[in-house]
Chain A
Amino acid sequence: AQSVAQPEDQVNVAEGNPLTVKCTYSVSGNPYLFWYVQYPNRGLQFLLKYITGDNLVKGSYGFEAEFNKSQTSFHLKKPSALVSDSALYFCAVRDPLDTGGFKTIFGAGTRLFVKA
């Protein structure tokens, strides 16, 4: 069965500094990987996905993520953090070989605080 881990409950970064939110996964096949952001009392907003192709994926709001198959990681990055990036970030994985590939499994979430 697929799983996804976000090892950090919280990440603190100063505005203007680069940020990284870590994610590792476990699937039996080639994974579909996603990042979502959630603001308080709101649903999830899609940031980016990796399905196939270039390992570096660019997404919304200046975020990007790098798929590393050997390390089974899909870390979220941004070169320069904004205070408005402060939110809850979820990494998610889908294993297309698992029961038709329809379940998306979410990590526990990482809360990002960007200090002005």
Chain B
Amino acid sequence: GAVVSQHPSWVICKSGTSVKIECRSLDFQATTMFWYRQFPKQSLMLMATSNEGSKATYEQGVEKDKFLINHASLTLSTLTVTSAHPEDSSFYICSARVALAAYEQYFGPGTRLTVT
């Protein structure tokens, strides 16, 4: 089956620094990737949708200058949390589809970010 990996699986950073999270589709080409945020005991909240080679579409309330998303290739998308603050601490999950309208959506294992 299709596999999506994320790196790192967990990261601790100091307030004010930036952190980059990678999402890779290992055995398929992902035209579309999604980034979600999950707070403890809560559901997944869609942050943004990115299509390879174009700018990401951010959901309302998500700061595009703070959460930089790059989808430079069909197998790699990155999320950079800039000038991180403790309230950015969360579980970030990426997901990928082979095409925007494809039924199947494959999820990465998630990255736990802790900002101290």
Q: Which A residues are within 8 Å of any B CB, using their own CB?
A: 32, 34, 36, 41-46, 49, 51, 90, 96, 100-109
Residues of A within 8 Å of B103, CB to CB, are: 32, 49, 51
Q: Which of B13-21, B65-73, B75-83, B108-116 contacts A (4 or more CB under 8 A)?
A: B108-116
Q: Does B32 have its Cβ within 8 Å of any Cβ on chain A?
A: yes
Q: Which B residues are within 8 Å of any A CB, using their own CB?
A: 4, 6, 32, 34, 41-44, 46, 49, 91, 93, 95, 100-101, 103-110, 112
CB atoms of B32 and A102 under 8 A apart:
yes
Can you list 12 A-B contacts with CB-CB less than 8 angstroms, sorted by A residue number?
Answer: A42-B110, A43-B6, A43-B108, A43-B109, A43-B110, A44-B44, A44-B95, A44-B107, A49-B104, A51-B103, A101-B101, A107-B43
The distance in angstroms between the C-alpha atoms of A107 and B45, with both chains bound, is 10
Residues of A within 8 Å of B112, CB to CB, are: 41
Residues of B within 8 Å of A42, CB to CB, are: 109-110
Chain B residue nearest to A51 (CB atoms) is: B103
The distance in angstroms between the C-alpha atoms of A102 and B49, with both chains bound, is 9
- Taking the closest CB of chain A, its distance from the CB of B92, in whole angstroms, is 10
Residues of A within 8 Å of B6, CB to CB, are: 43
Query: Which of A32, A51, A100, A106 is B100 in contact with, Cβ under 8 Å?
Result: A100
- Taking the closest CB of chain A, its distance from the CB of B43, in whole angstroms, is 5
Residues of B within 8 Å of A49, CB to CB, are: 103-104
CB atoms of A90 and B43 under 8 A apart:
yes
CB atoms of A109 and B32 under 8 A apart:
no
Residues of A within 8 Å of B93, CB to CB, are: 43-44
The distance in angstroms between the C-alpha atoms of A102 and B71, with both chains bound, is 17
CB atoms of B107 and A108 under 8 A apart:
no
Residues of B within 8 Å of A107, CB to CB, are: 43
Residues of B within 8 Å of A100, CB to CB, are: 100-101
CB atoms of B104 and A41 under 8 A apart:
no
The distance in angstroms between the C-alpha atoms of A42 and B109, with both chains bound, is 5
Identify which of B32, B104, B106, B107 gathers the most chain A CB atoms within 10 Å of its CB.
Answer: B107
